[in-house]
Amino acid sequence: GAVVSQHPSWVICKSGTSVKIECRSLDFQATTMFWYRQFPKQSLMLMATSNEGSKATYEQGVEKDKFLINHASLTLSTLTVTSAHPEDSSFYICSARPGGADYNEQFFGPGTRLTVL
């Protein structure tokens, strides 16, 4: 089956630093990748949709200058949390959709747990 990896799986950083999270589709080309955030006991909230080679589309209320998304290739998207603060501590999950697939074929990465001290 299609595999999506995320790196790192967890990260602890100091307030004010930036953290980059990578999302890779290992055995397929992903024209679209999605980034979600999940706080404890809450749902997955879609942050942004990224299409390879174009700017990401951010959901309402998500600061594009704080959460930088780059989808430079068909197998890699990165999310950079800039100037992280404790309230950014969360579980960040990406998903990838193969080209031409419907939404049944959206494959999730294992997530990255970010803790900002």
Q: Where on the chain is the footprint of another protein (CB under 8 A)?
A: 34, 42-46, 49, 91, 93, 95, 102-104, 106, 108-111, 113
CA–CA distances in Å: residue 106 to residues 2, 33, 99, 101: 9, 9, 10, 8
Comparing CB distances to another protein, the nearer of 33 and 81 is 33
CB 65, min distance to another protein, A? 22
DSSP state of 87: G
Comparing CB distances to another protein, the nearer of 42 and 73 is 42
CB 46, min distance to another protein, A? 6
CB 74, min distance to another protein, A? 19
CB 110, min distance to another protein, A? 5
User: In this structure, what token pair is assigned to residue 106?
Assistant: 């959206």
Comparing CB distances to another protein, the nearer of 59 and 63 is 59
Render the burial of 20-48: b for 16+ CB within 10 Å, e for the rest: ebbbbbeebebbbbbbbbeeeeeeeeebb
Comparing CB distances to another protein, the nearer of 16 and 110 is 110
82 and 64 Cβ atoms separated by less than 8 Å: no
